Copies of this chain bind each other. A is one copy, B any other.
Amino acid sequence: MAGTGQTRHLPEAPAVVLVGPQLGENIGMVARAMLNCGLGDLRLVRPRDGWPSESAAAAAAGATAVIDGVRLFEATNEAVADLQLLFAATARPRHMTKKTTTPRRAAADMRAFAARGGRAGVLLGPESRGLSNDDVALADALITIPLNPDFQSLNLAMAVLLVGYEWYLAGADDPGPALAMPKRSRPATKDEMGGLFEHLERELDACGFLRNEEKRPVTVRNLRNIFQRAGLTDQEVRTLRGVIAGLASGRGD
C-alpha cells in the first residue's frame, strides 16, 4: 500500500489532535481511519506510552505516511496553536456555554473555512475519560456524534472515522455515484426489447400458457414490466432469448 498515492490527503484537510492517547494500537487505528478519509496531519499531546510506538505502526496497517508525519506536543494549547477553527469531540454533554454540532455540520463548516484559507482541527481526549474541561475550552464548538443514546461508546478511531468521512463527503464534487450501471455493455434498445417480448409471447402462446384470452393482456403486460424494470443490456436480451429458445426447444425430444 505504500506509495505516492498515500499522500492524497489535502493540505486544507483538518488536523487531528489526540490528547493523552493511551494505547499505541489506538493511535495506529486513528492513522488508518485518517488516511481512509484523506486526512494526514496527526498531532499527539503526551501519548501515555511514548513515541514512536511499534504498536501504533503495526496497527496503522499501511498508513505509514500519517504515522511518519506525527508531531508531538507537551501541551494541548501548543498542539492547536496554528489552528483557526477547532472542534472538540465529546461523548458526554458538557456544561459549558459552547455551541454543539454534528460531524456533518462541522464538516461543512470546515470545508467552507478551508476554502477561505483557514486551518481547522478536531481535538479528542484519552480513551478512558475524554477531554478535560480546560482542553474543551480551547475549542470553538463541540462535536457530538448523534448515535444510539443508550450505547454511545465509540473508540477513538471510530470517532475519527465518522468525522473524517463527513469531511471527505462534504468535499466530493458530486454526492457519489447515482445507482450507476456498469458500462461493459450497452442498454438494450426498445427494438431489442420488443423482439424479446414477441419471442417470449410467441412461445407462451405455443405452449398454452396464455390460452386464457381474458387474462392474456394483463399477463403479457406484467411480464413485459418485469423485464422492462430490470434495465437489460443488449447482451442480456440475447441471453434471455437463448433461455426461451432452450426451454422451448426441449419439446418433442
Whether A148 and B35, one on each chain, are in contact in the complex, defined by CB atoms closer than 8 angstroms, is yes
As for how many copies of this chain the complex holds, the number is 2
Please tell me which one of the listed residues B8, B99, B182, B233 contacts residue A148 in the complex, with CB atoms under 8 A apart.
B8
Whether B99 and A209, one on each chain, are in contact in the complex, defined by CB atoms closer than 8 angstroms, is no
Whether B177 and A36, one on each chain, are in contact in the complex, defined by CB atoms closer than 8 angstroms, is no
Whether A165 and B162, one on each chain, are in contact in the complex, defined by CB atoms closer than 8 angstroms, is yes
A150 within 8 A of B: yes
Please tell me which one of the listed residues B5, B152, B158, B230 contacts residue A158 in the complex, with CB atoms under 8 A apart.
B158
Measured CB to CB, the nearest residue on chain B to A176 is: B102
A203 contacts across to B, CB distance below 8 A = 247
A222 within 8 A of B: yes
Q: A246-B209, A252-B251 are in contact. Are A229 and B230 (CB under 8 A)?
A: yes
A95 contacts across to B, CB distance below 8 A = 182, 184
Q: A141-B179, A158-B158, A161-B158 are in contact. Are A250 and B151 (CB under 8 A)?
A: no
In the complex the two chains form, what is the Cα distance from A152 to B151 in whole Å?
Answer: 27
Q: A36-B147, A246-B207 are in contact. Are A97 and B236 (CB under 8 A)?
A: yes
A115 within 8 A of B: no
- Interface size for A (C-beta < 8 A) is 85
29 residue pairs bridging A and B, Cβ less than 8 Å apart: A1-B151, A8-B148, A8-B151, A36-B147, A36-B152, A37-B148, A38-B148, A62-B151, A97-B236, A99-B179, A100-B182, A101-B176, A102-B177, A104-B169, A104-B175, A147-B165, A157-B158, A203-B247, A204-B247, A207-B247, A208-B250, A223-B243, A226-B236, A226-B239, A226-B240, A230-B230, A247-B247, A250-B251, A252-B253
Could you list 19 further interchain pairs (A-B, Cβ under 8 angstroms) beyond the known A1-B151, A6-B151, A203-B247?
A8-B148, A9-B148, A36-B158, A61-B153, A95-B182, A96-B182, A97-B182, A99-B181, A100-B177, A105-B178, A147-B168, A161-B161, A204-B243, A209-B246, A226-B236, A229-B229, A229-B230, A250-B251, A251-B253
